[in-house]
Amino acid sequence: MTSPVTLDLQDGIATLTLNRPTALNALSVDMMKALAEATGQLQRRTDLRAVVVTGAGEHFMAGGDLKDFATHLHLSAESRIATFRALIEQYINPSVEALAALPVPVIAQVRGACAGFGLSLVLGCDMAVAAGNAYFTTAYASIALSGDGGVSWFLPRILGRRKAFELLLLADRFGADEALRLGVVNRVVPPEELEAATDALVQRFVKGPREAYAEMKRLLVASPEQSLSAQLQLEAEAFARSSARPNFDEGIRAFLEKRKPGFNA
């Protein structure tokens, strides 16, 4: 049986693929479990340079699998609360936290539908490249759900409270160009150029200073919860650690010698 999430690792680059193309990669319970397993594997690796999150076929993820959800409708209110809370706490939350905690850039590669948890997942990645045919919606209000996967945490930080309120409550659909304007994605390219554009970005990270990237990501993830003084202190400590590493030496020498640096970590 084909796994609903696949993980491919080559030369330090991990590609995590949502793999239910005939169902538009809709999030089933089995996919939740497989995603938690795959992101857990990524956390345990020490050889990563970058991670790409993508969807098989023509879509990223069209939200939750409503047919799967419908199998829970016979449950009592109390049982539903227990069941869905357990699914989110055991599989969804650890997956989102694992991607945020990885010390390498995580890039979403988006085409077609990106709805519900699919959008949450994209927002939780560090960068996103979208095909011009990508379209987005929070979708939760359409089935009277409140949201998961960190959507209520990421949206106001990326868009501001008022726009986040609008997108979450109204669940209107918006296209790739609007996603770029809002800051949901970093780049929009023609569909036929999506893989090449993503790979070009990945290669820049692969050739860059891995340990400095890790410090930058830790700082960015921590910053929303810190005071200015606390964040300044975290920056000082990270800067000092970075200055003691060989890549700093290489960066300085490359600048003085008027060449591109050859980072090795």
Asked whether the domain spanning 210-256 has the same topology as the one spanning 5-206, the reply is no
CATH of domain 210-256: 1.10.12
The pLDDT assigned to 265 comes to 60
Provide the 3-class DSSP secondary structure of residue 106.
strand
Domain ranges in the chain are 5-206, 210-256
The DSSP string of 23-70 is GTT-B-HHHHHHHHHHHHHHHH-S--SEEEEEESTT-SEESB-HHHHH
The residue among 174, 118, 171, 183 whose CA lies nearest residue 146 is 171
First to last CA, the chain: 38
Per-residue pLDDT of the chain (265 residues; tens, 9 = 90+): 689 999 999 999 999 999 999 999 999 999 999 999 999 999 999 999 999 999 999 999 999 999 999 999 999 999 999 999 999 999 999 999 999 999 999 999 999 999 999 999 999 999 999 999 999 999 999 999 999 999 999 999 999 999 999 999 999 999 999 999 999 999 999 999 999 999 999 999 999 999 999 999 999 999 989 999 999 999 999 999 999 999 999 999 999 999 999 997 6
Q: What residues pair up with 7 in beta bridges, in sequence order?
A: 16
Architecture of the domain defined by 5-206: Alpha-Beta Complex (3.90)
d(CA 25, CA 55): 7
The pLDDT assigned to 264 comes to 79
Q: Contact, 65 vs 23, CB < 8 A?
A: yes
